[in-house]
């Protein structure tokens, strides 16, 4: 009797075991190699051209990976990893990808040497916990000890690899001032710095050093009509999310007209409905009306007569921020519970003044002296679009870093200092363990050295020599009681030497480093667990059917 296999034929390729692992690691290495050369103060930029010919020139890891269309499923994990780091911390996107790829490469070597992936995973997890604990307990330094300069230095470190690195003194101060301007305290008494309240406007012309900080939230649009006043103070702001155009009947509503003379009345009523709505807003006391939709020219005259500023086509995001800053409510419909249309004055937001200014060739509306949270705008100037876009990305990273430093209050030395210290510490830890995780932890420790190595290589310095010296310093710092101050030793990439980066002002928030280690380990473990890949082929007959 023949036994018929119950397993249906898989329409697709199936690869399992070592082949898949090697393939995944190769794909991740390829992704990491793309961003590798952009790490560090002398990192190079990438030029990305998309399918319609738009050019992006950037140094930001998350942006580079977002623009690449990555096909390989394992490599996609790294792209998501960079996005996660960007969301959680805002900077360190390049580092996290490089570290994760190195973890994978080392783990793959161990698997080849007949060590089970489960042992490697538990070793990596243990190493990650120990590393994060060591950063918090031994390497992190409270910001109070370093003073205000530490914020500027954090911003400068974040910008060092970017396009605006040469003017980092100027931009770091801008970033710190901007973040401190939006300080708020929430209901629980925690101090928060919502950097979304910092609006970045890009204007052509002049040089990068002519960028400045404006007190007030700037909108990249002008007044809807020239007859409106260019300044209103004090301002009562209505934020709307619907059209102020001639009202049209909804789809599916039929109006049957028996008498053609009535047609004109219907038209008249349509424009009257809008007029009534505008009257309701103005009666509530509004003298500034912002809407995310359109206002037609018929309706503009009512605002001009009332001496109010109306702005149309405001970005939804800007509308939300202004509503939050001024205490306004974004209204999406006038209908109330009774089915009538009303607009209550409690929906209005308050600001000291709203005015229109001209920046380069564009008119912008400024909302100043907002009631709840203070809002500020960074006006960036620069030669061309590519430069302005890259300046915006660099400033976003710097603002995020300053925010993290202020909220977590702890910093660590940069320039490979943390990675070298952790590498030495974990190697010593591995030798004390008698379990099979020992090898995985040793490889984890080795992998962390990829950061100082890449930093040195990108700076055209001798990586082998510098990393060896760096490790010697950190070994001394951890074994000799009188040498503990050496734990901040990192690379000086302009001179190609080792220096105390804490004194040199190359510092980063401790949170950034901890998250890099956590996220990179998690991503590496996710990919390491895979030992079977089944790719399904689309069934042609189904499609025809």
Quick: pLDDT tens for 57-97. Answer: 888 888 888 888 888 888 888 888 888 888 888 888 899 99
**How confident is the model at residue 544, as a pLDDT?**
53
Is residue 289 predicted with pLDDT exceeding 70? yes
pLDDT above 70 (res 31): yes
Please give the helix or strand (H or E) that residue 141 lies within, else none. Answer: strand 141-142
Given 56, 93, 291, 373, the catalytic residue: 93
pLDDT on residue 351: 84
Instruction: Name the least confident of 288-302, 390-404, 465-479.
Output: 288-302
* Lowest mean per-residue pLDDT among 294-303, 499-508, 509-518: 294-303
How does pLDDT run across 307-358, given as a tens digit for each residue?
A: 888 888 888 888 888 888 788 888 887 777 776 777 777 888 888 888 888 8
Domain span at 257: 217-373
How many alpha carbons lie under 13 Å from residue 345 in its C-beta half-sphere? 9
pLDDT, residue 450, reads 92
Percent of the chain at pLDDT > 90 equals 13
How many folded domains does the chain comprise?
1
Q: Residue 387 pLDDT > 90, yes or no?
A: no
* pLDDT for 2 beyond 80: no
Residue 99 pLDDT class (50, 70, 90 cuts): very high
Q: What pLDDT is recorded for position 540?
A: 60
- 332 within a domain of the structure (yes/no): yes
Top pLDDT among 55 and 268 is at: 55
Q: DSSP assignment of 302-361, as one string?
A: HHHHHT-EEE-S--HHHHHHHHHHHT--EES--B-TTS-B---GGG-EEEEEEEEEEETT
- Distance, CA of 323 to CA of 216 (rounded, Å): 13
Asked if residue 365 is part of any domain, the answer here is: yes
pLDDT tier for residue 127 given thresholds of 50, 70 and 90: very high
d(CA 211, CA 383): 12
Sequence-distant (≥ 6) Cβ neighbours of residue 263 within 8 angstroms: 257
Report whether pLDDT(266) > 80.
Answer: no
**Token duo for residue 539:** 């069934």
Position 535 pLDDT exceeds 70: yes
Q: Average pLDDT in the 407-428 region?
A: 88
pLDDT attached to residue 504:
86
Element (H, E) at 392: helix 385-408
Looking at residue 106, what is its pLDDT?
Answer: 92
**Residue 45 annotated in active site:** no
318 a catalytic residue:
no
Q: Which of 45, 56, 58, 60 is catalytic?
A: 60
Percent share of the chain, pLDDT over 70: 95
Asked if residue 266 is part of any domain, the answer here is: yes
Residue 197 has pLDDT above 80, yes or no: no
What is the reported pLDDT for 15? 77
Q: Is 492 a catalytic residue?
A: no
Q: Is residue 296 part of a domain?
A: yes
Instruction: Please list the residues that pair with 288 across neighbouring strands.
Output: 237, 309
Q: How far apart are CA 269 and CA 356, in angstroms?
A: 34
Active-site annotation holder among 56, 58, 94, 274: 94
φ, ψ of residue 136 in degrees (nearest 5): -65, -40
Q: Name the band, by pLDDT with cuts 50, 70 and 90, for residue 147.
A: low
Catalytic residue among 326, 397, 492, 521: 397
Q: Is residue 369 part of a domain?
A: yes
**pLDDT, average across residues 450-459:** 90
Query: Would you say residue 369 has pLDDT above 80?
Result: no
- CATH of residue 246's domain is 3.50.7.10
**End-to-end CA separation in angstroms for the chain:** 37
Does 145 fall in a domain?
no
Mean pLDDT of the chain: 84
Residue 543 has pLDDT above 70, yes or no: no
132 part of a folded domain:
no
Supply the pLDDT for residue 9: 57
Considering the domain boundaries, does residue 122 fall inside one? no
Q: Residue 441: what pLDDT? A: 92
């Amino acid at each position: 009797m023949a036994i018929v296999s119950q397993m249906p034929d898989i329409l697709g390729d199936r690869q399992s075991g070592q082949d898949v692992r090697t393939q995944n690691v190769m794909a991740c290495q390829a992704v990491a190699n793309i961003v590798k050369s952009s790490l560090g103060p002398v990192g190079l930029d990438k030029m990305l051209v998309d399918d319609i010919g738009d050019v992006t020139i950037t140094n930001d890891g998350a942006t580079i990976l977002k623009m690449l269309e990555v096909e390989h499923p394992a490599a996609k994990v790294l792209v998501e990893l960079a996005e996660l780091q960007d969301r959680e911390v805002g900077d360190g996107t390049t580092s996290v990808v490089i570290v994760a790829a190195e973890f994978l490469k080392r783990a793959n070597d161990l698997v080849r040497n007949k060590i089970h992936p489960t042992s490697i995973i538990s070793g990596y997890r243990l190493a990650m916990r120990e590393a994060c604990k060591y950063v918090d307990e031994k390497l992190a330094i409270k910001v109070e000890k370093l003073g205000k300069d530490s914020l500027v230095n954090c911003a400068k470190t974040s910008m060092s690899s970017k396009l605006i690195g040469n003017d980092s003194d100027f931009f770091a101060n801008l970033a710190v001032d901007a973040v401190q301007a939006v300080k708020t305290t929430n209901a629980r008494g925690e101090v928060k710095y919502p950097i979304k309240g910092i609006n970045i406007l890009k204007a052509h012309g002049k040089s990068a050093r002519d960028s400045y900080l404006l007190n007030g939230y700037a909108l990249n649009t002008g007044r809807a009509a020239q007859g409106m006043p260019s300044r209103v103070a004090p301002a009562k702001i209505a934020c709307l999310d619907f059209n102020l155009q001639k009202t049209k009947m909804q789809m599916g509503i039929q109006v049957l007209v028996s008498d053609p003379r009535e047609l004109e009345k219907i038209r008249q009523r349509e424009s009257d409905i809008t007029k009534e709505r505008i009257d309701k807003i103005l009666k509530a006391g509004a003298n500034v009306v912002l809407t995310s939709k359109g206002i037609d020219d018929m309706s503009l005259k009512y605002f001009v007569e009332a001496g109010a500023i109306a702005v149309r086509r405001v970005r939804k995001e800007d509308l939300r921020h202004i509503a939050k800053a001024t205490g306004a409510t974004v209204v999406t419909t006038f209908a109330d519970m009774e089915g009538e249309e009303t607009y209550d004055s409690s929906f209005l937001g308050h600001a000291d003044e709203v005015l229109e200014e001209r920046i380069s060739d564009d008119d912008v509306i400024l909302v100043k002296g907002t009631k709840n949270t203070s809002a500020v705008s960074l006006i960036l100037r620069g030669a061309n679009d590519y430069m302005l876009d890259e300046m915006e990305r660099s400033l976003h990273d710097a603002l995020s870093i300053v925010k993290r430093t202020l909220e977590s209050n702890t910093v660590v030395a940069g320039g490979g200092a943390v990675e070298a210290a952790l590498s030495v510490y974990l190697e010593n830890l591995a030798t004390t363990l008698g379990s099979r995780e020992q090898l995985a932890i040793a490889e984890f420790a080795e992998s962390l050295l990829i950061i100082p190595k890449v930093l040195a290589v990108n700076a055209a310095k001798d990586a082998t020599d510098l990393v060896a010296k760096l490790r010697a310093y950190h070994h001394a710092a951890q074994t000799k009681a009188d040498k503990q101050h050496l734990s901040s030793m990192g690379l000086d990439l302009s001179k190609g030497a080792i220096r105390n980066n804490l004194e040199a002002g190359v510092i980063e928030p401790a949170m950034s480093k901890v998250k890099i280690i956590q996220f990179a380990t998690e991503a590496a473990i996710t990919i390491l667990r895979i030992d079977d890949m089944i790719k399904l082929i689309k069934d042609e007959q189904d499609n025809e059917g």
